[in-house]
Amino acid sequence: MSPGAAGELVTELSSFTKFRDRIDVLLRDLKTSPAGPGRVGQDAMGRDRFGGGKGEWSEADALHGSYSKVIKELEELSQLLSDSIEGMSIAVLGAHKGYENVDLEVRGRMLAIQDGMNAHHKAEPSHTSDGTVF
C-alpha cells in the first residue's frame, strides 16, 4: 500500500470515528432529555384536568382523547428517533470494522432496530402523492 493510500485510510477512519462519536452524543442526549423515550408521557394530564368530570362534558372527553393520542405518538416518535440514531451509530461501526467483525450482540441489536422499523412502517397507513390515505 502506498503511503498516500495509508494516509487516506487513516483520515477516513478518523472521520468515521468522529461521526460515530457525534451520533453517540446525540443518542445519549436524546435518551436523557425530557424528549427521551419513556419520559415524554411521564407528566401526562389525566381526564379530570380537562373539566366536566365523569364524562359529563363530551368536548373535554374529545380533547383529552386527542391529547392522549398526541402523547402516545410523541413517545413513539422519540423511540423511533432514538433507534434510528443508534442504528446509524452501528452502521458507522460496521462500515469502519466490516460487518463480519462486529460483535454478534451488536448485530442482533441492529436487526432488532430494523425489525422495529419494519413493523412501524407496516402499521402506518400509506399515502398517495396528494396526501390521500389508502
Query: What are 20-37's pLDDT values in tens digits?
Result: 788 788 878 888 888 777
Average pLDDT over the chain, rounded to whole?
78
Query: What's the rounded Cα separation, in Å, for the pair 67 and 36?
Result: 18
Please check whether residue 59 lies inside any domain of the structure.
no
Please check whether residue 129 lies inside any domain of the structure.
no
Task: Count structural domains, the chain.
Answer: 1
Domain membership of residue 101 as a residue range: 3-39+79-123
Length of the chain (residues): 134
pLDDT tens digits for range 47-91: 777 777 666 788 888 888 888 888 888 888 888 888 888 888 888
pLDDT of residue 63: 86
Please check whether residue 54 lies inside any domain of the structure.
no
Please check whether residue 108 lies inside any domain of the structure.
yes
Please check whether residue 71 lies inside any domain of the structure.
no
Please check whether residue 93 lies inside any domain of the structure.
yes
